[in-house]
Structure 1
Amino acid sequence: MKQPVSSFECSLSYVPCFLLAILYVSSLYIWRNKDPSNHPETIKRRFLSILCVTTISPFYVSYFINEDLLKEQSLWKILGLRWEGLLPAVVFPLILTAVLFLGPISMEGFSGLWRIYFEPRYWLSYMKEWIWIRNYVVAPITEEFTFRACMLSLIIHCTNPITAVLVCPVFFGAAHLHHMNEQIKLGVKWTIALATSCFQFTYTSIFGAYSAYLFLRTGHLIAPILVHAFCNHMGFPDFGALQMMQPLHRKVSMLCFALGLLLWGLLLEAMTEPFIYKNDLPWSSDI
């Protein structure tokens, strides 16, 4: 892999990332609509906007991407769209992330929530809901394509992969700050809306770093997409609910929280080895 270029040239490569983030978020607000963000009509209109942004993103990347990269690899491969190593990319990152969520998963088990997942009616009813489609299909696909595949492809030539993993999530976290405006419109005090947005910025940035790491290590877009959908389903761990559990169940769940974090740290590098996913992109071995 080529050595990082000058800091000035590198800083310029972040400009297209910033503009792409602005384009993604602003597309949500081009419609004149007084309905809340969870209203079906609002969701459907935003789907159309995001589809347009996602469609033009590859052309946008091909214009701004470093030409040397395209001489060595195809654009689609750089964007994580390839067949080689697809099955491991579907399975292993998802298992790895489930290990990290071992604590919340154990809490769902003790609450009996697991039984619902084996009910076909549960999935059939939710898959008809626009909010479900947004949270588990459209958002993971479009956000990971835009904020991971496209943005990382634009800056990976001028910086080391670790820096890219840490910087790109800032755009992803900042893109969620627009929710503050929506909360204020719903009557939430601006101080509470600000605190909520700052918290959301923090954990979405952390997730973004993890997702970027998976993308660069596996070389597959499907890996962060599935992990994103899984994390949307699990949500941020509800530590307060531990106090409402039976003493034995609470102790077991607390142990699972600690064990999951430990195992995830131990398995992270081994389960994302590039050779497992037939990832021969030059930066995969540098992270």
Structure 2
Amino acid sequence: MLEPEHGPVIQEEVEHSHVRCWVCVLSCLLLACLYVGSLYIWRSSLPRDHPSVIKRRSASVLLVSALSPAVVKAWMHWADIRVNAFVLELMGVRLEGLVPAAILPLILTMAFYLGPLVHSAMDNPKGFSGELQSLLDVQSWRWCVRDAVWLRNQLVAPVTEELVFRGAMLPMLVPCTGPTAAIFIAPLFFGVAHFHHIIEQRRLHKDSMSIILLVSGTQFLYTTLFGAFTAFIFMRTGHIVGPVVCHAFCNSQGLPDLTSALQHPQKSAILLSYLVGLLLFLVLLFPLTDPFLYGPIPVCSLSAPAASAC
């Protein structure tokens, strides 16, 4: 009795899957190289925080970000991806669920930073009311929006990096790796992209090579961890606005300074706030990112039906 020959069909599907994955990886590498490479098309001996350098580099990365939907569209054509969603929707630019997507991930991130926020309030002569007054001070905001470094750190970097390294790369990774693996793979491109700071440091001869590598390695670690968090937010909400807002907030706060907290006169209260913040973050992580709050998530249409992260 003859059985149907499925061998050639299965082999063809496997080969197509391999090609799709290679196209995905190469597309992500292309975007990462375009983003980092655009920073160095301007020849200058000035430091990276000089206003003219910031303006030129901001223009470059904004252009790369504007082109990222075209890269995703080209990838969909080459990888033969057909979904009932626009490219921008796959990249998290959509209206449904926009308000909770902008607010709830920020609340989650602020819970994680409860320790540093309490620490800052304790060091403010006016306490928590002083912190609130500073936040609502119109004159302070006017000064900020005129500062090139502030605009880069709080606006340009969060928008462009999240759009390219999350909004564009995650939809390309999901069909190949699945949503869960994509959350941990996409941040590797983000972390490696930050190694370009080695070039800056060597050019300025500020530190020895060993110090530069140590700092760059530490930066790779925390940018990769942060990238995994914002990738998780993106996959759970289907919005790019949450990662952008969280990115801007984290840039404003920097890394939590545990060393300073341990040396503080009221270290017990501060350390307790660190612990409470961490527990709140873990308890609220899944409830505040429940996909039910944000409507159907377009990027999930790229994954297999059994994919747990969607």
Letter in 1 for 2:152: R
Larger Cα Rg: Structure 1 or Structure 2? 2
Letter in 2 for 1:271: L
Asked whether 1:286 is paired with 2:308, we answer yes
**Cα shift readout 1:179-236 (whole Å, capped 9, x = no counterpart):** 1111122221111111000000000000000000000110011010000000001110
1:85 is matched with 97
Identity, in percent, stands at 39
3-state SS in 1 of match to 2:100: helix
Report deviation, 1:260.
Answer: 1.1
2:226 is matched with 207
| Equivalent-residue separation in structure 1 for 2:18 and 2:272 (angstroms) | 45
Alignment partner of 2:273 out of 245, 256, 259: 256
TM-score, normalised relative to structure 1: 0.93
Within-5 A mapping of 1:181-220: 181-187=199-205, 188-220=207-239
- Contact 1:160–1:286, Cα closer than 8 Å, also in 2: no
- Contact 2:165–2:186, Cα closer than 8 Å, also in 1: yes
| Equivalent-residue separation in structure 1 for 2:109 and 2:83 (angstroms) | 34
1:224 is matched with 243
1:27 is matched with 38
Distance 1:139-1:60 versus aligned 2 partners, 3 A rule: same
3-state SS in 1 of match to 2:31: helix
More deviation, 115-124/95-104 = 115-124
- Contact 2:23–2:75, Cα closer than 8 Å, also in 1: no
Structure 2 residues without counterparts, runs of 5 or longer? 1-12, 125-129
| Equivalent-residue separation in structure 2 for 1:15 and 1:69 (angstroms) | 16
Asked whether 1:110 is paired with 2:148, we answer no
| Equivalent-residue separation in structure 1 for 2:20 and 2:112 (angstroms) | 38
3-state SS in 1 of match to 2:92: coil
Report deviation, 1:116.
Answer: 2.7
Within-5 A mapping of 1:134-149: 134-149=152-167
| Equivalent-residue separation in structure 1 for 2:33 and 2:188 (angstroms) | 13
TM-score, normalised relative to structure 2: 0.86
3-state SS in 2 of match to 1:156: helix
| Equivalent-residue separation in structure 2 for 1:71 and 1:268 (angstroms) | 29
| Equivalent-residue separation in structure 2 for 1:278 and 1:262 (angstroms) | 27
Distance 1:189-1:156 versus aligned 2 partners, 3 A rule: same
1:266 is matched with 283
Letter in 1 for 2:216: S
| Equivalent-residue separation in structure 1 for 2:204 and 2:252 (angstroms) | 24
2:185 is matched with 167
| Equivalent-residue separation in structure 2 for 1:111 and 1:36 (angstroms) | 32
Asked whether 1:49 is paired with 2:60, we answer yes
| Equivalent-residue separation in structure 2 for 1:203 and 1:7 (angstroms) | 31
Within-5 A mapping of 1:61-72: 61-65=72-76, 69-72=81-84
**Cα shift readout 1:98-117 (whole Å, capped 9, x = no counterpart):** 00111111101101171432
Report deviation, 1:30.
Answer: 0.4
3-state SS in 1 of match to 2:285: helix
Report deviation, 1:71.
Answer: 3.0
Letter in 1 for 2:71: Y
Letter in 1 for 2:105: P
Report deviation, 1:266.
Answer: 1.3
1:132 is matched with 150
| Equivalent-residue separation in structure 2 for 1:121 and 1:13 (angstroms) | 46
More deviation, 163-172/66-75 = 66-75
- Contact 1:152–1:168, Cα closer than 8 Å, also in 2: yes
**Cα shift readout 1:37-81 (whole Å, capped 9, x = no counterpart):** 000010111111112211211111100126665432221210111
| Equivalent-residue separation in structure 2 for 1:253 and 1:118 (angstroms) | 24
Alignment partner of 2:176 out of 158, 181, 191: 158
